[in-house]
Structure 1
């Protein structure tokens, strides 16, 4: 069903001739749009124009003017009143095709109608014609002109997409971009949003493929980081700064439990990286023979002998990784004795995403972030550089 929204004024001046001219113009608009229903917006005084419309329609069509409603705007020069009345009707007829004619009415009414049409992507029309000496449109010269709102709407949708992207709301950004019509840069922005959406979910290779399709200087450092990550023999060197940045984004969003889950993985990964990089041991699959070469003290080896499986493989938890570093006389092993870290991890264990029901506070998330970064700096010489070049840009 097609619904025609029309703002209705009272005519230029108060003469009968001017009211008739306005009514004639509105009827012309109705005849061109052929709506199933009409919604008029106007003041109490505008009802005079409606009566003239009905009179002229009866004379021309020889039947009563029907299928319309009149929405009274009490404060015709108040934007909020005009907007609320029009938006309510937009929502009421949201399933229908709506076209908007903003030819007459106060400046506030017509401006509001144009804004409503842009925000809700409705076709906007103006009825114009040749005017006589008294400023009245000459009957028979009327014509309907559609106003092209795409330029304004495209800019609006792009700004909303950027705003969503900068807040890490990638699905919202995609939806705003879908609403853009005929913009040269649209495809690039779609690739960018998809790339960072993938990266935020640790799909690094897919993110890099998407990013390579876009030539923007703002992406260069991130492209470099992903390239180095893809070629790294020990990926943890790049995954640790990436995880820290990811946790930082979650804190920025107020998702503190999500942030702490990532930070726990950072602390775990630091120990794993240290064992690989400095001691050539893979904590998820340590061979008993390799450990015997590294540790000579029998008492210590007895502890690890209990952990090996039938194939002589040892798999270690977070705390056990730090214990092993300590047993290897690695200074990073002292992290396991850090009282502040223990307290923070205890709170993490009581969180909803771990083993408890307590939500993580903003303060708790920040403290764990700073502690994780402090530990990582002891292990990764280039941590701050890598965090900088893997930081997501703001569009």
Structure 2
């Protein structure tokens, strides 16, 4: 029974017969015996100690109502915690006692990392009542039991999925890694491996990374998802498991793969086709931060959404430098601006306080507010709308005074939701289908 230098404790639920308990003590040789007994079975516990000549530590806990599952659970839970607090390794035997006592003991042991024991028989003739009754004296055999929750890593699977649903990817990964290490059944082991791949992809995506490191190489996330879907669909049992337990999960994986394929340039630089998919992606990311209660983080992202709306509109007008787009920037091309603004360009430069326009550099940059001002002076509807929109400007000012910007004020949920709603509306001014793409790029959810 001993696996190290720690002392061992044996919890015994006491029923109407002493023989199974005697067998347990003789074979397991514990340092401490903890009896869970009713008033009527205390004498059985005393008899067990006498017959085994046990000289170790003895503890008792009376279950007043042995037909109460609630009391049985509470008393058993307390006994387990008491022993573990005193650094015992614990074995729980659930042979004796009423059904509520046994059930309460088993429930209390769930997740406690203790061993299970049951005294059965080594022979089909070892029970009375034609093999349907209790074990006969002399036919007892201890049968170690595996905790099915541990055997199938039930808690780790459920916790991992719940953490994934709440965007806690590191915690999700830890739980699924633990599940994978516990499992011996090949199908469940394969499932846990697939879940870990899913977590890795979405963890990377949530951090704005478009690549994942696999075997010392960087692979675009859209290809990672495509490879993952191929792995899933090559095994009908896996597909059935997903469809049965997590309705809609696989279809959203496909949607996400299509979204990422549109967002990520295969040549590792941006172009005018894929830059627009950063907008719904940023909005989704901000929404996830709101769901987590990280309102300052959400508003920081929404500020970037507002800026991106203006930059993308400037790009639609054809004045953003193409080379800067390829380098993930939105610098204004001087010649393109001059040609677009025609005779008004000098007046606009003055209003925006743009200096050194005649320098040798072919581009210049704008801050967020001046992005909208530029649109306004170019008589664009989004620029005109923003300049008159005092509500959104007040919410953005709260962001400027927040602890993650230039001040020390925290952002609350109401502020974050307001700016999120405003940001979605501005995104729709630029792209009427933005909510369709947001849905396409939304993270899937496990059914818990």
Shift of 1:115: 2.1
Q: Name the counterpart of 2:303.
A: 264
**Does 2:19 correspond to 1:24?**
yes
**Does 2:129 correspond to 1:124?**
no
**Does 2:352 correspond to 1:354?**
no
**Does 2:135 correspond to 1:137?**
yes
- How far, CA to CA, are the matches of 1:380 and 1:23 in structure 2? 78
SS at match of 1:44: coil
Q: Name the counterpart of 2:240.
A: none
* 318-327 or 36-45, which deviates more: 36-45
- How far, CA to CA, are the matches of 2:22 and 2:226 in structure 1? 56
**Does 2:411 correspond to 1:365?**
no
Q: After TM superposition, where is structure 1 displaced by more than 6 Å over at least 4 residues in a row?
A: none
Contact residue 270 and residue 379 of structure 1 kept, 8 A = yes
Contact residue 13 and residue 93 of structure 2 kept, 8 A = no
Q: 1:111 to 1:137 in 2, by over 3 A?
A: same
Which 5+ residue runs of structure 1 have no aligned equivalent?
12-21, 59-63
Contact residue 242 and residue 390 of structure 1 kept, 8 A = yes
Q: 1:205 aligns with which of 198, 211, 217?
A: 211
- How far, CA to CA, are the matches of 1:208 and 1:23 in structure 2? 64
Shift of 1:224: 1.0
- How far, CA to CA, are the matches of 1:244 and 1:43 in structure 2? 61
Contact residue 257 and residue 353 of structure 1 kept, 8 A = yes
- How far, CA to CA, are the matches of 1:27 and 1:209 in structure 2? 62
Contact residue 66 and residue 101 of structure 2 kept, 8 A = yes
- How far, CA to CA, are the matches of 1:145 and 1:164 in structure 2? 36
Q: Name the counterpart of 1:3.
A: 8
Shift of 1:96: 4.7
**Does 2:279 correspond to 1:233?**
no
* 300-309 or 75-84, which deviates more: 300-309
- How far, CA to CA, are the matches of 1:340 and 1:210 in structure 2? 42
Q: Deviations over 1:166-209 (max 9, x none)?
A: 22222332233234223131111111122212211112322445
Shift of 1:305: 6.1
Shift of 1:385: 2.0
Which 5+ residue runs of structure 2 have no aligned equivalent?
1-5, 213-220, 233-249, 322-328
Q: Name the counterpart of 1:103.
A: 95
- Structure 2 matches for 1:1-395, cutoff 5 A? 1-11=6-16, 22-58=17-53, 64-92=54-82, 93=84, 96-129=88-121, 130-133=126-129, 135-150=133-148, 153-180=152-179, 181-182=183-184, 183=188, 184-206=190-212, 207-208=221-222, 210-215=224-229, 216=232, 217-218=250-251, 219-231=253-265, 233-234=271-272, 235-282=274-321, 284-295=330-341, 296-297=343-344, 298-304=346-352, 306-308=354-356, 312=361, 313-334=363-384, 335-395=386-446
Contact residue 352 and residue 374 of structure 2 kept, 8 A = no
Q: 1:38 to 1:187 in 2, by over 3 A?
A: same
* 222-231 or 127-136, which deviates more: 127-136
- How far, CA to CA, are the matches of 1:35 and 1:374 in structure 2? 69
Shift of 1:259: 1.6
TM-score between both structures, scaled by the size of structure 1: 0.86
Contact residue 14 and residue 35 of structure 2 kept, 8 A = no
Contact residue 247 and residue 263 of structure 1 kept, 8 A = yes
Aligned-pair Cα RMSD in Å: 2.7
Q: Name the counterpart of 2:325.
A: none
- How far, CA to CA, are the matches of 1:359 and 1:142 in structure 2? 66
- How far, CA to CA, are the matches of 2:63 and 2:174 in structure 1? 33
Q: 1:250 to 1:75 in 2, by over 3 A?
A: farther
Contact residue 41 and residue 73 of structure 1 kept, 8 A = yes
* 77-86 or 118-127, which deviates more: 77-86
Q: Deviations over 1:134-183 (max 9, x none)?
A: 95532221112233333675344323322222222223322332342231
Contact residue 72 and residue 104 of structure 2 kept, 8 A = yes
Q: 1:230 to 1:306 in 2, by over 3 A?
A: closer
Shift of 1:241: 0.1
SS at match of 1:119: coil
- How far, CA to CA, are the matches of 2:330 and 2:355 in structure 1? 12
SS at match of 2:153: helix
